[in-house]
Amino acid sequence: MSYENPKSIQAVVLDWAGTVVDFGSFAPTQIFVEAFREFGVAISLEEARGPMGTGKWDHIRALCNEPQIANRYAERFGRRPTNDDVTAIYKRFMPLQIEKIAEHSGLIPGALDAVAVLRARGIKIGSCSGYPVCVMERVVALAKANGYVADHVVATDEVPNGRPGPAQALSNVIALGVDDVAACVKVDDTVPGVLEGRKAGMWTVALTCSGNALGLSYDAFRALPPDRLSAERVRIGASFAAARPHFLIDTIADLPGVIEAIEGRLAAGHMPQAC
């Protein structure tokens, strides 16, 4: 028995917010702002977007580690935020997130068509998110009502260590019966999500315009002048550079063409770990 490179893609592991639903990834970021506000600490939407892609407790911890936010917290409470403070903010964040998630549950334009093309090629659809189970249950139900159902879902609190570690992506490999990680593609709009795919040994696709990095609604994205959009693509591409995504595309609508390109690379003997 000898090893043979896979010749085709068996599964795609999709992120949720900013990838399949919630163009601009507004649901998690706005709730961070609201949760901190309830503790008397102001953070901006731009600050809230910084650690996007990690689990939500880790995201809040990262925000509290930012010197400017830690200083504001200290001005309010007379000390810098501890892990107990992070947990208190997280416990307020969760019900707010569940309450507000429906406001940003719309499917990203082109998502259903792209998924249909992949399924027609026999590709399974895995998924994972920085959301915990209690939020993912709501996200999955709303997506199903809009016509999208993944073959498998892994929330961040269903594995020992979430992004940027590979556990969620690899959980999809096991659940979907994929026999080679090189036959998988991880698609995400955040650096931790791309690193997740890289560390899992998968092909990786970074989304530049539908998610956290651009942070605009679909209408605002479509209204960008061509020169501004080009500049944003360059800026966002540079922000992903250290994570080394194999491909950069605007939105999931562009994914079927990338799958063809990846299968071309596989046919030529290329492997994601070596690219």
Tokens of 97: 């997130």
How far apart are the C-alpha atoms of 272 and 228, rounded to whole Å? 32
Q: Under 8 Å CB-to-CB from 204, ≥6 apart: which residues?
A: 185, 186, 187, 188, 194, 197, 198, 243, 244, 245, 246, 247, 272
Q: Which fold has domain 28-103?
A: DNA polymerase; domain 1 (1.10.150)
**pLDDT at residue number 56:** 86
pLDDT tens digits for the chain (275 residues)? 899 999 999 999 999 999 999 999 888 788 888 889 999 999 988 888 877 777 888 889 999 999 999 999 999 999 999 999 999 999 988 888 888 888 889 999 999 999 999 999 999 999 999 888 988 999 999 999 999 999 999 999 999 988 999 999 999 999 999 999 999 999 999 999 999 999 999 999 999 999 989 999 999 999 999 999 999 999 999 999 999 999 999 999 999 999 999 999 999 999 999 98
**pLDDT at residue number 130:** 87
User: How many CB atoms are closer than 10 A to CB 145?
Assistant: 10
Choose the catalytic residue: 22, 56, 124, 188: 56
Q: Is the peptide bond before 164 cis (omega within 30 degrees of 0)?
A: yes
CATH tag for 11-26+104-274 (out of 3.90.1570.10, 3.40.50.1000, 3.40.50.720, 3.30.1540.10) = 3.40.50.1000
Indicate if 199 belongs to the active site: no
Tokens of 232: 């944003």
Q: Under 8 Å CB-to-CB from 106, ≥6 apart: which residues?
A: 21, 22, 23, 146
**pLDDT at residue number 14:** 98
**pLDDT at residue number 96:** 85
Q: Which of 9, 1, 13 is nearest to 169 (CA)?
A: 13
Q: CB burial class (10 A; 0-12, 13-18, 19+) of residue 158?
A: middle
Nearest-5° angle of CA 150, CA 152, CA 156?
A: 110
Indicate if 144 belongs to the active site: no
Q: Which residue ranges make up each domain of the chain?
A: 11-26+104-274, 28-103
DSSP per-residue codes, 88-149: HHHHHHHHHHHHHGGGG-PBPTTHHHHHHHHHHTT-EEEEB-SS-HHHHHHHHHHHHHTT--
Q: What is the pTM of this model?
A: 0.89
How far apart are the C-alpha atoms of 119 and 130, rounded to whole Å? 25
Same fold, 11-26+104-274 and 28-103: no
Q: What are phi and psi of 152, to 5 degrees?
A: -155, 145
